[in-house]
Chains A and B, each alone.
Chain A
Amino acid sequence: MNNINNIIEASGLHKNYGEFKLNDVSFNVPGGYIMGFIGPNGAGKTTTLKLILNIIKRDSGSIKLFGKEANLFQNEDIGVVMDTPMYVDEWTVSDVEKAISPFYKQWDKELFAKYTKSFGLLPKKKIKDLSRGMKVKIQIAAALSHHAKLLILDEPTSGLDPTARDEICDLLRFFVTDETKSVLFSTHITSDLEKTADYIAFIMDGMVVFSGAKDDLLEKYARVTGGFSEINPEQKKLIIGYRAHGTGFEGMTETANISKFKESVLIEKISLEEIIIFMNKEAKLNDK
């Protein structure tokens, strides 16, 4: 993914908080694509997003945005959507525009009116009275109204019903039809990423364990299940996130290792959610 069309190029990012550190985080987000940013709670997703947005200072490493060394003023080209908007609860929808539009040279008043109308956001409605889905939508309306080239979303779909999540995923897919635009989408809801993401960056304990095409990740691992008698200790070592239950075991393995198991062991396609679960399980097993 090293090409000039990368919208984000994060390389060797370090940030030390003492009890937690981000360690050598590197990934690229190419133009025209959606990258899902996944990992368990506390893995370092939000810290990484804050580094990209210059909200916190990195200890080392580099971030390039739109091919240039990242600086604060490039944030004008970034639309940010958080799970909760950083707007005053008492503001109305039109107050949001009054407050933030002067910060953007490319603010498009008509576009904001168009999006708020299509999202059903009434100008006099207060932020505190909006549903969670609507709170996400007003941020998306704001992000799109200043012609952002990059959308950074931090858990925007958590707590939303499937219809609202689907609408947001549709919007993101439409956004990247322009190949000069990209989306970095951090979420726990991996089913949204299965539908929308082209690339995945998977972070665990402050380190990126995979960064690449989503299909490559899904093809890299496979789900393994079987009875206890079907594996020997050597084969057990090949299983990531090994979990024993009443009738046997389950876990995942690298597809390159599939031939090392007996034919009676059940090998299946794996989902993103299962990859996170088994990776997390493996990390905990290693900690013991």
Chain B
Amino acid sequence: MINDKLWAFVRLDFVTIKPYFTAKNILIYVALAIYMAFMSKSIITTVGIGLMLATLNIGYPFALGEKCNMDALYIMMGTDRKTVVKGRYLFSLLLNLLAVTFTMAIALVVLFVRNLYDGLGGMLVQSLGAVLMISVLFLMIQAVQIPLFFKLGYAKAKFFSIFPFLIVSAFVAFVVMYAGGDGMPSGVNGFVQNLFESVHLLALGIVVFLVLMAYVSYRLSLVFYRKREF
């Protein structure tokens, strides 16, 4: 059950980053998405840009919160730390959903206009899996970044928050290079091949992985944030 304070907090996070969503910035985001869709002729690249921007924006409430001592403000308004952590994750999830929906819509329109697909349905089916995969990658990055922000604060964690990008990029490169190849132990190789061959197994694996990752990330953030004093 989502309580009033949790929604109030999510709303506060959106109001906090609102100054960054000026007409000029939104125009730049739209132009960037259109440009990427035109150049790459791919939904996944366009959505990737959207998720990249969302990942950057997720850091803003931490940055502004630190600058204005808003962590103390949350408490002064009767918000417990658990609600703050939950609210920040909910805000991040909503921001990701907005970014994916927004960039996917732009990419679909651009590709449809360019007649790169036969129909809207075909485009969606062909790109949905890829969009899901890239979303998982960005969620992995954010799952590492958010606890870092809660532990160290934005200013100190900014440098370390680059590492999740590098780690996930290395992980992706590893999977792309070795998945199904001879470089992996046969047991792992077989498991990866089975995973990619069975859509249901893959979907289940992704869901289990996401839930576990989100849970561990959330618990760490809560432990870190409870120890901080403002």
Expressed in whole angstroms, the Cα–Cα distance for A75 and B72 within the complex equals 12
Which B residue's beta carbon lies closest to that of A100?
Answer: B77
Provide the residues of chain A in CB contact with B230, threshold 8 Å. 55-56
Q: Are A103 and B15 in contact, CB atoms less than 8 angstroms apart?
A: no
Task: Say whether A86 contacts B72, CB under 8 Å.
Answer: yes
A76 adjacent to B77 (CB under 8 Å): yes
Q: CB of B11 within 8 A of chain A? A: yes
Which residues of A from 49 to 106 have beta carbons under 8 Å from B? Answer: 50, 53-57, 72-76, 78, 80, 85-91, 95, 98-100, 102-105
- Which B-chain residue is minimally distant from A78 (CB atoms)? B76
Q: Given the complex, which residues of B lie within 8 Å of A50, measured CB to CB?
A: 72
Residue in chain A with minimal CB distance to B20: A90
Contact of B8 among A56, A78, A86, A103 (CB under 8 A): A103
Determine the chain A residues whose CB is within 8 A of the CB of B11 once the complex forms.
Answer: 98-99, 102
Instruction: Classify chain B: how many residues form its interface, as a range.
Output: 20 to 34
**CB within 8 Å for A86 and B70 given contacts A53-B76, A54-B75, A102-B11:** yes
Among B16, B64, B72, B76, max chain A CB count under 10 A is at B76
Q: How far is the CA of A2 from the CA of B76 in the complex (A)?
A: 26
| Neighbouring B residues of A95 by C-beta, 8 Å | 15, 18
With beta carbons under 8 angstroms apart, the residue of B7, B16, B78, B80 that contacts A88 is B16
**Within 8 Å CB of A103, what residues of B?**
5, 8, 12, 77-79
B79, A88: Cβ atoms closer than 8 Å: no
Name B's interface SS.
Answer: helix
Which B residues are in CB contact (< 8 Å) with A75?
A: 75-78
Given contacts A87-B68, A91-B19, is CB(A102)–CB(B78) below 8 Å?
Answer: no
A34 to B70, CA, bound (A): 27
When chains A and B are docked, how far (Å) is the Cα of A85 from the Cα of B76?
Answer: 12
> Which residues does chain A contribute within 8 Å of B76, judged by CB atoms?
53, 55, 75, 78, 80, 86
Asked if B12 and A86 make an inter-chain contact with CB atoms under 8 angstroms apart, the answer reads no
* Chain B contacts for A54, CB-based, 8 A: 75
Q: How far is the CB of A156 from chain B (nearest CB, A)?
A: 14
A95 to chain B, nearest CB (A): 6
B4 touches A102 (CB 8 A): yes
- Give the residue of B5, B19, B73 whose beta carbon is less than 8 angstroms from that of A86: B73
How far is the CB of A127 from the nearest CB of chain B, in Å?
9
Q: Is the CB of A98 within 8 A of B15?
A: yes
Contact present for B75 and A72 (CB under 8 Å): yes
User: Which residue of chain B is the closest to A77 with respect to CB atoms?
Assistant: B78
What separation, in Å, do the CA atoms of A285 and B79 have in the docked complex? Answer: 44
**Are A99 and B5 in contact, CB atoms less than 8 angstroms apart?**
no
B229 contacts partner chain A, Cβ-Cβ < 8 Å: yes
Residues on the B chain within 8 Å of A74, using CB: 78
Q: Please, which residues of chain A bring their CB within 8 A of the CB of B79?
A: 72, 103
Bound form: Cα–Cα A87–B77 in Å: 13
Q: Is B69 an interface residue (CB 8 A)?
A: yes
Whole-angstrom CA separation of A102 from B72 in the bound complex = 17
Say which residue of A72, A73, A90, A102 sits within 8 Å of B12 (CB atoms): A102
- A90 close to B19 (CB less than 8 A): yes
Q: Verify A99–B15 contact, CB threshold 8 A.
A: yes
Q: Which positions in B face A, CB cutoff 8 Å?
A: 4-5, 7-8, 11-12, 15-16, 18-19, 64, 68-70, 72-73, 75-80, 229-230
Other than the given A72-B80, A88-B64, A91-B19, 19 more pairs (CB < 8 A) read A50-B72, A53-B72, A55-B75, A55-B76, A56-B230, A57-B229, A73-B78, A75-B76, A75-B78, A80-B76, A90-B19, A98-B11, A99-B11, A100-B12, A102-B8, A103-B5, A103-B8, A103-B77, A103-B79
**What are 18 A-B interface contacts by the 8 Å CB criterion?**
A53-B76, A55-B76, A55-B229, A57-B229, A72-B79, A75-B76, A86-B73, A88-B64, A95-B15, A98-B11, A99-B12, A99-B16, A103-B5, A103-B8, A103-B77, A103-B79, A104-B77, A105-B4
Which A residues have a C-beta under 8 Å from some C-beta of B?
50, 53-57, 72-76, 78, 80, 85-91, 95, 98-100, 102-105
